[in-house]
A and B are shown apart, each in its own frame.
Chain A
Amino acid sequence: MTLTKSPVGTSTPPSSRSGGSSSHRKRRPSRRQLIFLAPALVLFLVFQAYPIARSLLLSFQTRVDGKLVWAGLHQYERLFSDPNFGLALGNTLLILVVQVPLMLSIALILAVALRSTYVKLKTGFRLIYFLPAVTALLAYAIVFRTLLNGDSSVANQLLASIGVGPIDWLGDPFWARVSLVAAITWRWTGYNMVIFLAGLSSIDPSVREAAAMDGASAIQAFRSITLPLLRPVILFTVTTSTIGALQLFDESYILTGGGPAGSTLTIVLYLYRTAFKSLDFGYASAMAYVLVLIVMVIAVIQMRILRTKDDE
């Protein structure tokens, strides 16, 4: 192993390593390093790789008279001519594009605000914002359904008090989507806020003090110092929220049932119905892996935009 000397100090990634080509060549993992990875790998191979392989196989099969037979790309071809799949895909992408940026922006602002010295009772606020994420899915969906159901729902009563007419939160296609986005955002903002809190806490305060000494305003410091240092954490929340949005199921299932007229049908809800209601597992598997492909493409794009030098 070649020892290199690099500048000590801040936590920004080292811009260069002195020394010869030996430090650029990717090394084979030593045994010790493998041990770090071993538990994860074993668990992965046994409990993930096998089921994944099996379900992937299923996507190339179909059931004829109760027996599974090879079907080639038949299930995948079905997807192209399936209007429901297109509908589900459109809905899911729409929700993704609206909900994730909205939620992450709020989460980041909250995280910053709840570390500010200007704010009292920070612990209380943090708990209050985090609590929605802790609630069981079934119950919170029931609660939201009740709060949004009908002309005299609580939501509509609030609107009535400011003179706005009743909105059919769950029955109108547009508003049903709004309700879904609202429910998801309500639930997960605090979760992401907590992740950002941890990320912000890992930034060495002396860095920011130095910036303040140099005369940077709070916003400038945030933009040019904090945000870049937060990049790995931001990448994490963006990727995981994107995956979560693309895999949206529970809210759409319990709150709106995919309705009205399919306006809140998401891909995984359609997949669930195909697998567990119509018992068409082969088709559902094909759907799953097309979704995986889509998510991969989006995730790769996000990683490219947000990666740091360490991500080589």
Chain B
Amino acid sequence: MQRSLKARAAGSVMGVAAAVALALSGCSSNAAQGDIKPIADPQSVSGTVNVLTWEGASDPLKAVIPVFEKKYPKLKVKLQVIGYDDVSTRLTVGLQSGSNLPDVVAVTGERVKTVTGNFPDGFVDLRKFGLDKRKTEWAASKWPALTGADGELYGVPWDVGPVALYYRTDLLAEAGVDPSSIKTWEDYMAAGRKLKAQGHALLPIEVDTSQAYSILLQQQGQSYFTAKGKANLASEASISAATLLQNAVQDGYAKNVNNWDAMLSSLKSGEAATNIMPVWFAGILSSSVPEQAGKWAVMEMPALTAAGPRASNQGGSNLLIPAKSKNPRGAYLFSMFALGTTESANTMMKVGNMSSLLAASDQPAFKEKVPYYGDQQIWSVFAKTIPDIPSVPFTADYDKADQVLVDAMNKVLVSGADAKSTLRDANAQLSSQIGQ
């Protein structure tokens, strides 16, 4: 029986398509690599630098770009600002397809290992530009996420997210709580008791993220994974973090809220009087709850043990340079200018972005008196804790671990499930997911 005309035409088109597919999959040559070594003559580098970042993270960069372009007249920076998730999507598709990538892309700390782990040749090893010589200028806690298995340095550290205790000065005063008395978690719970008597909750805990838990976990020097990359959800520190939060909820001091918006609503309505949050929350709080200006202040977060650190980290991004960038030298110069100079750090601090450069904390912007927080020099409070932030390991399986943990913590916080056994089960589930 003769095959119809249509079928034959279909067959040949499929053949072409298949050939194209094979050709595309083989194509991953990297023309720019030859240029990558320490830049001897920065002023000679020219061209455009395409920078991809998200709404909110763009303001600090917008502030430094004019200064950069003045210093390097041959370079032009094009800033692309899209939604946070969309940066991730574009980057993923770009890496997977090997095309349409920017010269510089912003990636949050927890996600760096995921992208570099899945695409080890996807990003420029910045040691080739000499970044390793300047490594110690930034907070130590930034480097585990950016460091590859063989010591590669995949990005330049941007902002850090030191955590502190935000509190309502008026509500604490009403409840008879002296803020300086809150040094440990027990003190914090004691404050919660007094606030509860006044009808206020101590803090809102979002049940759809791992934020509260992971802050407490990092404070104890741990993360979802051990240094060797094994699942770490059933460790003592993990169970302790979960239990502390669960007890706070069950004692009525902490309130479960559904999501980020609900957390802000809870603060806005005065239902909750404090929150343990990173530095980048300062601007969000002041713009979301403008009517409470002057009523907030920050202090060091409570220690979990008597001698333990009163510091932790949540968030903070980095700038990475895709290997397919057409202008890696320009990209490096921009990243180092924006993130590696104290002048830029000062500029960025003015818009609420706290650099992880250790020397930056001496800059004038860090000493600014912020009206919303009763003219307190809040940035100094945060910056002082940076050296104490424990460094913790990250792996390429961060998202899987996070999802497992969020589901487990939901059961612990909302349904009151036993922390130890729930986390044990979660750990087993994670281990099997990551093939350990």
Chain B 93-109 per-residue mask, 1 if CB under 8 angstroms from chain A, else 0: 00110000000000000
Which of chain B's residues have a CB closer than 8 A to the CB of A257? 208, 259
- Chain B, 114-143, CB within 8 A of any chain A CB: 114-115, 118-122
A204 to B152, CA, bound (A): 73
A231 to B427, CA, bound (A): 52
- Chain B, 391-424, CB within 8 A of any chain A CB: 396-397, 399-400, 403, 406-407, 410-411, 414-415
Q: Is A187 close to B, CB under 8 A?
A: no
Which of chain B's residues have a CB closer than 8 A to the CB of A139? none
CB distance from B245 to the nearest CB of A (A): 16
Which of chain A's residues have a CB closer than 8 A to the CB of B122? 66
- Chain A, 204-251, CB within 8 A of any chain B CB: none
A29, A45, A278: which contacts B17 (Cβ < 8 A)? A45
- Chain A, 78-98, CB within 8 A of any chain B CB: 81-83
Task: Given A45-B13, A171-B207, A278-B114, decide whether A149 and B258 contact each other with a Cβ distance below 8 A.
Answer: yes
Residues B399 and A273 in contact, CB atoms below 8 Å apart: yes
Please, which residue of chain B has its CB at the minimum distance from the CB of A261? B410
Residues B21 and A54 in contact, CB atoms below 8 Å apart: yes
Task: Given A259-B410, A260-B207, decide whether A50 and B21 contact each other with a Cβ distance below 8 A.
Answer: yes
A262 to B89, CA, bound (A): 22
Please, which residue of chain B has its CB at the minimum distance from the CB of A146? B261
Residues B92 and A279 in contact, CB atoms below 8 Å apart: yes
Q: Is A49 close to B, CB under 8 A?
A: yes
Residues B261 and A145 in contact, CB atoms below 8 Å apart: yes
CB distance from B176 to the nearest CB of A (A): 27
Residues A279 and B115 in contact, CB atoms below 8 Å apart: yes
A54 to B407, CA, bound (A): 33
Q: Which of B3-11, B223-231, B286-294 forms contacts with chain A? A: B3-11
B4, B6, B120, B258: which contacts A171 (Cβ < 8 A)? B258
Q: Is A159 close to B, CB under 8 A?
A: no
Residues A46 and B13 in contact, CB atoms below 8 Å apart: yes
A171 to B261, CA, bound (A): 13
A29, A57, A66, A280: which contacts B119 (Cβ < 8 A)? A66
A54, A83, A150: which contacts B429 (Cβ < 8 A)? A83
Residues B89 and A149 in contact, CB atoms below 8 Å apart: no
CB distance from A40 to the nearest CB of B (A): 12
- Chain A, 22-65, CB within 8 A of any chain B CB: 28-29, 34, 37, 41-42, 45-46, 49-50, 53-54, 57, 63, 65
Residues B14 and A278 in contact, CB atoms below 8 Å apart: no
Residues A278 and B256 in contact, CB atoms below 8 Å apart: no
Q: Is B257 close to A, CB under 8 A?
A: yes
Task: Given A66-B120, A278-B400, decide whether A261 and B14 contact each other with a Cβ distance below 8 A.
Answer: no
CB distance from A48 to the nearest CB of B (A): 10
Tally of contact residues, B, Cβ under 8 A = 48
Which of chain B's residues have a CB closer than 8 A to the CB of A304? none
Residues B17 and A50 in contact, CB atoms below 8 Å apart: yes
Task: Given A49-B17, A63-B118, A259-B207, decide whether A276 and B92 contact each other with a Cβ distance below 8 A.
Answer: yes
CB distance from B115 to the nearest CB of A (A): 7
Residues B118 and A66 in contact, CB atoms below 8 Å apart: yes
* Interchain Cβ contacts within 8 Å, total number: 101
Please, which residue of chain A has its CB at the minimum distance from the CB of B119? A66
Residues B17 and A261 in contact, CB atoms below 8 Å apart: no
Tally of contact residues, A, Cβ under 8 A = 42
Q: Is B265 close to A, CB under 8 A?
A: yes
A37, A45, A262, A277: which contacts B399 (Cβ < 8 A)? A277
Q: Is B20 close to A, CB under 8 A?
A: yes
Residues B115 and A261 in contact, CB atoms below 8 Å apart: no
Residues A149 and B261 in contact, CB atoms below 8 Å apart: yes
Q: Is B18 close to A, CB under 8 A?
A: yes
Chain B 16-35 per-residue mask, 1 if CB under 8 angstroms from chain A, else 0: 01101100010000000000
Q: Is A181 close to B, CB under 8 A?
A: no
Task: Given A28-B4, A150-B258, A171-B414, decide whether A281 and B96 contact each other with a Cβ distance below 8 A.
Answer: yes
Q: Is B432 close to A, CB under 8 A?
A: yes
CB distance from B260 to the nearest CB of A (A): 10
A304 to B115, CA, bound (A): 46
Q: Is A68 close to B, CB under 8 A?
A: yes
Residues B261 and A259 in contact, CB atoms below 8 Å apart: no
CB distance from A79 to the nearest CB of B (A): 12
Residues B262 and A277 in contact, CB atoms below 8 Å apart: no
Residues A279 and B261 in contact, CB atoms below 8 Å apart: no
Residues A149 and B259 in contact, CB atoms below 8 Å apart: yes
Residues B14 and A49 in contact, CB atoms below 8 Å apart: yes
Which of chain A's residues have a CB closer than 8 A to the CB of B222? none
Residues A50 and B118 in contact, CB atoms below 8 Å apart: no
A256 to B6, CA, bound (A): 47
Q: Is A180 close to B, CB under 8 A?
A: no
Q: Is A170 close to B, CB under 8 A?
A: yes
CB distance from B256 to the nearest CB of A (A): 7
CB distance from B116 to the nearest CB of A (A): 9
- Chain A, 277-292, CB within 8 A of any chain B CB: 277-281
Which of chain A's residues have a CB closer than 8 A to the CB of B218? none
A168 to B410, CA, bound (A): 14
Residues B208 and A260 in contact, CB atoms below 8 Å apart: yes
Please, which residue of chain A has its CB at the minimum distance from the CB of B116? A66
Task: Given A29-B6, A66-B121, A281-B96, decide whether A150 and B14 contact each other with a Cβ distance below 8 A.
Answer: no
A68 to B415, CA, bound (A): 42
CB distance from A45 to the nearest CB of B (A): 5
Which of chain A's residues have a CB closer than 8 A to the CB of B25? 68
Residues A81 and B432 in contact, CB atoms below 8 Å apart: yes
Which of chain B's residues have a CB closer than 8 A to the CB of A145? 259, 261
A158 to B178, CA, bound (A): 41
Which of chain B's residues have a CB closer than 8 A to the CB of A53? 14, 17-18, 21
- A-B pairs, top 6 by smallest CB distance, nearest first, are A277-B399, A50-B17, A261-B410, A279-B118, A66-B120, A170-B258
- Contacts A150-B262, A280-B118 known; 8 new A-B pairs at CB < 8 A: A49-B14, A57-B21, A66-B119, A66-B121, A66-B122, A150-B266, A259-B410, A260-B410
Can you list 22 A-B contacts (CB < 8 A)? A34-B6, A42-B13, A49-B14, A49-B17, A50-B21, A53-B21, A57-B21, A81-B432, A149-B262, A150-B257, A150-B258, A152-B269, A170-B259, A259-B208, A259-B407, A260-B258, A260-B414, A261-B407, A261-B411, A277-B399, A278-B400, A279-B96
**B residues lining the A interface (CB < 8 Å):** 4-6, 10, 13-14, 17-18, 20-21, 25, 88-89, 92, 95-96, 114-115, 118-122, 207-208, 256-259, 261-262, 265-266, 269, 396-397, 399-400, 403, 406-407, 410-411, 414-415, 429, 432-433
